[in-house]
Amino acid sequence: MCGIAGYISTRSSEVAKEIIERMTDAVAHRGPDGAGVWVHGSVALGHRRLSILDLSELGRQPMIDPDSGRVITFNGEIYNYIELRRILAGQGYRFRSHTDTEVILNAYDFWGQRCVEQFNGMWSFAIYDPRENLLFCSRDRFGVKPFYYAETTAGFAFGSEIRQLLPLLPSRQADAQVLLGFLVARVAEDITHSFFSGVRKLPGGHNLVFDLAAQKYTISRYYSLEVQAGYVALQLDEAVNVFQELFRDAIRLRLRSDVRVGTCLSGGMDSSSIATLAAEAYRRESQQAFLAITAVSEDPQTDESQFAQRVVENAGLEWIIVKPGYSDFCDQLAAVVRAQEEPFASASVLMQFFVMREARRAGVPVLLDGQGGDETLLGYDRYFADHFLQSLRKGKLAAALAVVSGLLRNGRRGALSILLRDLLYFHAPAVRRMATRNHSSLFRPEVGPSLRAARVPARDYGGLSAMQKDEIERTNLPVLLRYEDKNSMAHSIETRLPFLDYRLVEFATSVATSLKLHDGWGKYLLRRSMAGQMPEAVVWRKNKFGFEAPESRWMRLYNSQIQAAVRSSCLLSQICRENALQGTSLDQFNQGMRWRLFSLALWENEFAVTGMT
């Protein structure tokens, strides 16, 4: 896990070494164990190293293949690198190191640009290929690892973080469409544009190839999540067996490390399942207790540490608890804003930040985490609304009624009210417009066209598989992965996500909906798979939080600072009606909108954003 940088000069035949050095140094926090730059004519690559596999000097980057002259800068982990190494060794390839980086270089030589189809992992990398006179860049299937890029009058640049690219831009301007999408449509992460005008993102599952002779690049998609026909007809017992095998293997691969590995543990199903299975495998291999870190909310209504404790006792985990309070929120808010680089939609992002900080203090540079479990195995309440609606549309009245009766038996408190709310909000355009009408009144009339373009229409996917695909690739998971990457790497921590093993994702999105939503239970397949391996109180719990912050309390205590930041924002004054945010007018908006306005104002100030385009 590392930080990468790259620069291609399109104006001269030489790149000044200082450019790539500055870009590389800007992400020193991502790689405190080493640094390197490589410059050749108009191409420069940089790297900051967080040593996880092969801690020797043979793992240094940028890494050069002596036979082909190819050079790579790589961020991430290829978890199946041992298996790929065996395949490549059988084809005559020789290895000097025990790194996955060298495996990528040889895989590229053997399979060409289709090498990425062989990888099980998370990655952002760039390979300079002197034979083809091109730069081949790739981002993993679901975009776990970031890849930002920018075009300037003098060149093309890319990196792991936005801060590496900002000094190369003529000015720091906000992207108006992204900004309005964040405020109005609650789109916290655009998959191709950042909040900074001129800074773009390579989407997950895509490659970027820069032709050095033509001085232009092309972007192509190499992966799209599709239903796997072999899984569609599986019955429950068969599906449980396949899931258990894939899940255990995903965890086994993600325990490969030459440094200590631990896990995040909230007490929810996803993190508890990972902690339970990983503890068993880790103890078998290392004869050590597996470490878990839990962030505890100071609000009893969102405190799930009692569930985490049961998992700890059941799995024999070593346990670290961190309980951030209001003073921690005040002290670290600016640091989180700097780390995230873009506005974020909830104060709960801070709780994850505190977990990663604690992992660094404990000397555990690798953590497993449960991101992706809700999207792949249907863990959110809104999925019941889609299931109910699709059953009705297909004339399956009994199935629709079964959704309601199941929620009455096993759903959490207020489940039917939540079902009705989600049906109206996500599938009734008129109701959705009413819900954001008071937000629209906040903005100046001239913002109207951009405002209408920023609104997200009511969703009609024609089935939960299509909805899952959209949420995994575009609407829901990308922002969670951004939070995860920025929070972890701010503390030089690598996080690994077993639920996003592509084999597991393809399986989970292909099996029948009735195996995931059953009798009022979300993630039913996971619950059945873990029954008997975890305490029943955890397996069959009805409420869920995650690392939730006591946001209401913190915002109430911080209200005067929130009001001041929003009122002083030049960006907000450009798009909001005169006096719309003065006095107590901010109180008319719900908590989510107030936080988004505040977060935007903090971002603008921290990064000295001067206007919008």
Please write the tens of the pLDDT for every residue from 385-410. Answer: 999 998 998 889 999 999 999 999 99
Q: What does the DSSP 8-state code read for residue 445?
A: G
d(CA 525, CA 235): 11
Specify the fold of 229-377+465-539.
Answer: Rossmann fold (3.40.50)
What average pLDDT does this structure show over 224-228? 95
Q: List the one residue out of 119, 130, 137 whose CA is nearest residue 77.
A: 119
Measured between alpha carbons, how far is 505 from 247 in angstroms, rounded to an integer? Answer: 10
| Percent above pLDDT 90 for the chain | 82
What whole-number distance in Å separates Cα of residue 506 and Cα of residue 509? 5
When pLDDT is averaged across residues 537-563 and rounded to a whole number, the result is: 88
Which pLDDT score, from 0 to 100, does residue 42 have? 96
pLDDT recorded at residue 73: 98
Is residue 221 a contact partner of residue 206, using CB atoms and an 8 Å limit? yes
Confidence band (pLDDT; 50, 70, 90) for 587?
confident
- Please state, rounded to an integer, the average pLDDT across all residues of the chain: 93
Rounded to an integer, the average pLDDT of 4-9 is 98
Strand partners, 219: 208
pLDDT the model gives residue 447:
76
| Residue 365 phi, psi (nearest 5) | -80, -5
User: How many CB atoms are located within 10 Å of the residue 389 CB?
Assistant: 19
Residue 23: is it exposed, middle or buried by C-beta count within 10 angstroms (0-12/13-18/19+)? buried
pLDDT, tens digit (0-9, with 9 covering 90-100), for 330-385: 999 999 999 999 999 999 999 999 999 999 999 999 999 999 999 999 999 999 99
- The pLDDT of residue 454: 65
Q: Which residue has the tokens 């075009």?
A: 151
The domain defined by 2-169+190-221 carries CATH number 3.60.20.10: yes
- pLDDT, tens only, 416-466: 899 998 888 777 766 666 666 656 678 888 777 766 666 656 666 667 888
H or E element in which residue 366 lies: strand 366-368
| SS3 at position 47 | strand
Burial 172-181 (b: 16+ CB within 10 A, else e): bbbbbbbbbb
pLDDT of residue 87: 98
Domains of the chain, by residue range, sit at 2-169+190-221, 229-377+465-539, 382-463, 558-612
pLDDT of residue 301: 82
CA distance 555 to 88: 55
Please give the model's pTM, rounded to 2 decimal places.
Answer: 0.96
Q: Whose CA is closest to 203, among 221, 226, 180?
A: 221
**Mean pLDDT value of segment 203-211:** 98
The pLDDT score that the predictor gives to residue 586 is: 79
Q: How many angstroms separate the CA atoms of 517 and 387, rounded?
A: 8
Q: Under a CB-based contact definition with an 8 Å cutoff, are residues 600 and 571 in contact?
A: yes
Burial of 128 (0-12, 13-18, 19+ CB in 10 A): buried
Q: Which of 162, 169, 168 is nearest to 193 (CA)?
A: 162
Between 119-133, 165-179, 314-328, 424-438, the lowest mean confidence (pLDDT) is in: 424-438
How far, rounded to the nearest angstrom, does the alpha carbon of residue 325 sit from its chain's CA centroid?
A: 25
Q: Which pLDDT band holds residue 524 (cuts at 50, 70, 90)?
A: very high
